[in-house]
Amino acid sequence: MRPVAVVGIGKTAFGAFPDRDLRSLAVEAGNRCLEDANAQPSQVEAFYLGNFAGPSFVGQNHLAPYVAGAMGITGVPATRFEAACASSGAAFYHAVMAVAAGIHDTALVVGVEKMTSQPTPKVAEILAGAGDSTGEVRAGATFPALFAMIARRHMHQYGTTREHLAAVAVKNHANGAKNPLAHMRKVITLEQALNGKPVADPLTVYDCSLVSDGAAAVLIAPLDRAAEFAHRPLIQILGIAQISDHVALDTKDDITTFAAVRAAGEKAYKMAGLTPANIDLAEVHDCFTIAEIVATEDLGFAPKGQGGFFAAAGETSLSGSKPLNTSGGLKSKGHPVGATGVGQICDIVQQLRGDAGDRQVAKHSIGLAQNLGGSGATAVVSILGVVGA
């Protein structure tokens, strides 16, 4: 398999945009990506769309050619990928595999979701469809309830506290406040996070990601052609893996860990020839604050059970030993579900290029993105690095 590079990135702002439709968001991100790569629509050989629930949120099916055609991209394969919150992470994985295998030389990957077109109860119902509809959903479980159970069990087994959860929220809000494209650019205090409106004990509103609209896009090409598109540090995909697991939480052996994340991380590290110690920064899937803590452990950044303590000690801050979610994460940046995975790749590339502004970390040669679907049924881990660094 040949080496693959990210040669262009583009994002919309994440937020609530009542006057925008799904297609306009996706087209904006895609066009920004092509402009960033100095590429034309005619140079795209395959189009991959990550979208979780466009048919339910906005009533539109056949989404990949619907978006690609609006960008002037026709006459090529255009395919939609659905893997819950990991939809665009999965689209990115399959695009990378196709380019690495030599099937295509260029592939455009777009992730998009338009969620705010529905009232909050309907959004919760649609999102619940990523769970087990015959079991946990029928019993009334929502994702806040499922992740609250994960948090409670983690607290019971490892001594994790609400202060640890709040530390994640405070840190991510601080980062998001410096991100001009973030949904919620609001600094919060530990006291605010602890006293937030209860959602599902022990989680408060400050522990939960946002219902957002938005889109993100990346263009990939063989590394030996990357210089044709980009005139900045070349960014190579060093390792990537997608792994699946059971959907329902009650079928897992241990709900304080995500087996798919562990396996995807191990496989991506092996492909890249790296260890967790080599990763300078990461964007991890903090759909809830406990999810960031678990990801910290599953990816090997902290020992099992120590993720909360690691966060509270400031190790995951911009100046810490392992900066996590420098973008603000899903918690502050926003979580337009289908856009999240590709959005993470854009955020890592921005850091690796040294273009993250006030959020730029000092050491930025190798970054990792971890995208989670549902309560761990899908995981995509991607490792990217600056060529020659």
Which active-site residues does the annotation give?
A: 85, 335
CB atoms < 10 A from the CB of 96, how many? Answer: 22
Sign of dihedral through CA atoms 40, 19, 23, 16? positive
Whole-angstrom distance, CA of residue 327 vs CA of residue 334:
10
Amino acid at 146: L
Q: Which has the closest alpha carbon to 236: 244, 245, 227? A: 227
Q: Please, are residues 351 and 219 in contact by the beta-carbon 8 Å criterion?
A: no
Question: Of 27, 1, 30, 25, nearest to 14 (Cα)?
Answer: 25
